[in-house]
């Protein structure tokens, strides 16, 4: 169903250009279709700000519910931003205080980069927790990605994440553990999903807190879980929103850091992502770049265009299906008829009757 371009956010035009149905606000005002209003708290660093915004809005726009979908990106002022990102946020993003007054049906919270040993030391921690506390009481459901998942399980359940011996980085095959849950209904029982993280919250930690694990991968961990009430908070430890080239761009960034001396070792390849041809191209570039640097010569350009033709998105359809199922649950829960049923014996802790 259509997204509504309620402002001039460039992502809306990019999606139109790719063939996605995006209504103008004027056209939407003449359609008698129910609306869903979804906040998108984008905490990603400047380099990934617009890409992450685009990825999540695209997932929402793939929903097949009969609704007009209004997405409101916003961020946290305490995050350190450069001038270009600040201008983008000022021009195109909403203010949380305004959204709080307006009301939202659901909220998506992205990951974020961290620089401190504990999450409580991060500048985003206090404002994020204020938003989460508000959302717990005022939106139908919250969907979290990666770092946001670690922050919310800590806030809601006191679960501490554990540093990994090395970065969990690549594309991994996962199994559905609860195929009858509405979030995983009729999706592939085995599917790929990308991970990119230095820390982990284990299946055992989540289950001890009453959180239901819906999809996981042996040796990698949990990808998808849901709060004890089965719906109010959806936890992704991986990245269903990633584009085919997202891991490639991360690899390019780490290679650049290595060549500029910001990291001491060359980065590993993301697991299960590069073909042998792509590995050969990347290895040849790295050796050429290191040799050029050692001789004081200019470092050649990273072969991004060549490599992006060799990487593939093997997780997108499943990510869309899960987010579609989530928005379907939001749609049901926020339906007036469903709300009226609270007066008629519906369990407020499980209004959708999920077993």
What's the CA gap between 168 and 222, in Å, rounded? 12
SS3 of residue 58 by DSSP: helix
Handedness of CA 105, 103, 128, 25 (dihedral sign): positive
Catalytic-role residue among 37, 53, 144, 146 = 146
Classify residue 308 as exposed, middle or buried by CB count within 10 Å of its CB (0-12, 13-18, 19+): middle
Query: Taking Cα atoms as reference points, which of 12, 5, 8 lies closest to residue 26?
Result: 5
Catalytic-role residue among 178, 241, 250, 254 = 241
Catalytic-role residue among 181, 223, 239, 254 = 239
Q: Among all chains, which residue has been given the structure tokens 């284990």?
A: 202
Catalytic residue check, 239: yes
Number of Cβ within a 10 Å radius of residue 8: 9
What residues contact residue 52 under an 8 Å CB cut-off, 6+ apart? 42, 44, 110, 241
Catalytic residue check, 186: no
SS3 of residue 330 by DSSP: helix
Number of Cβ within a 10 Å radius of residue 207: 13
Catalytic residue check, 146: yes
According to DSSP, the residues that pair with 221 across neighbouring strands are 217
What order of strands is seen across the sheet that includes strand 22-24? 22-24, 3-5, 68-74, 35-41, 106-109, 141-145, 233-236, 221-226, 212-217, 162-176, 190-200
Token pair of 3, please?
């997204």
What positions carry a catalytic annotation? 146, 239, 241
């Amino acid at each position: 169903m259509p997204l509504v371009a309620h402002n001039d956010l460039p992502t809306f035009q990019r999606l139109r250009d790719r063939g996605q149905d995006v209504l103008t606000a004027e056209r939407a005002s003449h359609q008698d279709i129910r609306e869903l209003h979804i906040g998108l708290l984008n905490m990603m660093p400047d380099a990934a700000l617009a890409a992450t915004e685009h990825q999540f809005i695209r997932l929402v726009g793939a929903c097949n519910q009969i609704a007009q979908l209004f997405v409101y990106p916003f961020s946290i002022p305490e995050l350190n931003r450069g001038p270009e990102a600040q201008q983008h946020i000022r021009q195109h993003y909403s203010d949380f205080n305004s959204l709080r007054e307006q009301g939202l049906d659901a909220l998506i919270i992205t990951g974020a980069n961290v620089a401190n040993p504990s999450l409580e030391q991060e500048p985003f921690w206090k404002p994020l927790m204020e938003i989460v506390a508000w959302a717990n009481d005022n939106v139908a459901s919250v969907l979290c990605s990666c770092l946001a998942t670690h922050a919310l399980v800590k806030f809601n359940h006191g679960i501490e994440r554990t540093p990994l011996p090395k970065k969990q980085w690549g594309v991994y095959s996962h199994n559905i553990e609860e195929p009858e849950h509405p979030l995983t209904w009729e999706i592939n029982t085995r599917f790929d999903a990308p991970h990119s993280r230095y820390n982990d919250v284990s299946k055992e930690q989540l289950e001890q807190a009453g959180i239901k694990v819906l999809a996981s991968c042996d040796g990698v961990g949990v990808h998808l879980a849901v709060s004890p009430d089965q719906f109010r908070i959806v936890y992704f430890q991986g990245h269903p929103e990633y584009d085919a080239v997202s891991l490639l761009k991360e690899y390019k960034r780490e290679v650049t850091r290595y060549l500029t001396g910001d990291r001491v070792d060359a980065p590993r390849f993301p697991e299960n992502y590069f073909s042998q041809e792509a590995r050969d191209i990347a290895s040849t570039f790295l050796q050429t770049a290191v040799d050029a640097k050692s001789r004081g010569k200019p470092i050649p350009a990273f072969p991004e265009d060549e490599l992006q033709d060799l990487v593939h998105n093997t997780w997108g359809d499943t990510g869309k299906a899960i987010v579609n199922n989530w928005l379907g649950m939001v749609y049901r829960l926020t339906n007036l008829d469903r709300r009226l049923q609270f007066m008629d014996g519906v369990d407020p802790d499980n209004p959708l009757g999920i077993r």
